Amino acid sequence: MPRISVIMGIYNCQDTLAEAINCIIEQTEDDWELIMCDDGSCDNTYNIALEYQKKYPQKIVVLKNESNLGLNATLNKCLSIAKGEYIARMDGDDRCVPNRFELELKVLDNTPDIAIVSSDMQFFDETGVWGYISHPTNPTKYDLVKDTPFCHAACMVRREAYEKVKGYTIKKYLLRVEDYHLWFKMFLAGFKGENIHKPLYQMRDDRNAYSRRKFRYRINEAYVKCLVVRKLSLPAWNYCFVLRPILVGIMPTFLYDVLHKFRLRKQGGNDD
């Protein structure tokens, strides 16, 4: 049995998938399996995944949805056959450093009360690395109501935590906030997490990413924030955080672009 099961939902990422897969293959920790599920791509994504499966039949599994089901259902499909002690994430258009798994495993192996580990993350586009985000070392429920406390694609999580919360919740009103809702469920179940303050992961953040930020997903985020305040028994004034994604959603695109990049560059994102 592999120690790590990497789950990856892939969709129309033919130009970036090989680089993402190679980041897994080149990890210093090699006790892993990679489970990819194509979510109804209409380009060559699925065939690229199959080529890697043929090359690494003992390490890579490729699944396929007959239609586009969304990331929640796609990741649950990967989870249903995952064999690893730990579940790691990776996206088909991102990159990570070669010792990412090694460092995340070290935290989980040495800290039994930590179930979730993630890291700082850089943002990049066709011009290179331009932004950086960092979350609290050990986030609390008060951090959770402000923002997602872990970078989802950079995370590694104990299998029992996923099993306890029954994976990702499949609801239309949780699309694009599946990670935020997952962390809420894990916090509610008593699980704790830790962030490594090194940029072990790089997320592609370009014009294609901007186009996916629809207003209804901001509504979904506000819904999860309401759950956090109510279910985790936070003081009522925390409902003010519910308004933030709504305000961001009605912001003109050009203004969002400027503020988004300013915030992430301010955290040190110009350092490659």
**CATH code of residue 171:** 3.90.550.10
Looking at residue 254, its pLDDT comes to 64
Residue 188 has pLDDT above 50, yes or no: yes
Q: Is residue 102 part of a domain?
A: yes
Q: Is residue 69 part of a domain?
A: yes
Q: Which range of residues forms the domain containing residue 72?
A: 4-266
Q: pLDDT confidence of 214, banded at 50, 70, 90?
A: confident
Residue 272 has pLDDT above 80, yes or no: no
Q: Is residue 77 part of a domain?
A: yes
Q: pLDDT confidence of 97, banded at 50, 70, 90?
A: very high
Q: pLDDT confidence of 247, banded at 50, 70, 90?
A: confident
Looking at residue 248, its pLDDT comes to 75
| pTM given for the model | 0.91
For 44-96, how does the pLDDT look when each residue is reduced to its tens digit (9 = 90+)?
Answer: 999 999 999 999 999 999 999 999 999 999 999 999 999 999 999 999 999 99
H helix or E strand, kind and range, residue 236: none
Q: Is residue 214 part of a domain?
A: yes
Q: Residue 35 — φ and ψ, nearest 5°?
A: -115, 110
How many independent structural domains does the chain possess?
1
Locate 161 and state its tokens. Answer: 């935590």
Q: Is residue 271 part of a domain?
A: no
What average pLDDT does the segment 120-147 reach?
94
Q: Is residue 261 part of a domain?
A: yes
> In Å, how far are 28, 48, 73, 133, 243 from 69, measured between CA atoms?
33, 20, 6, 29, 29
Please, which residues have CB within 8 angstroms of residue 21's CB and are 6 or more apart in sequence?
Answer: 34, 36, 49, 52, 60
Q: Is residue 242 part of a domain?
A: yes
Q: Is residue 272 part of a domain?
A: no
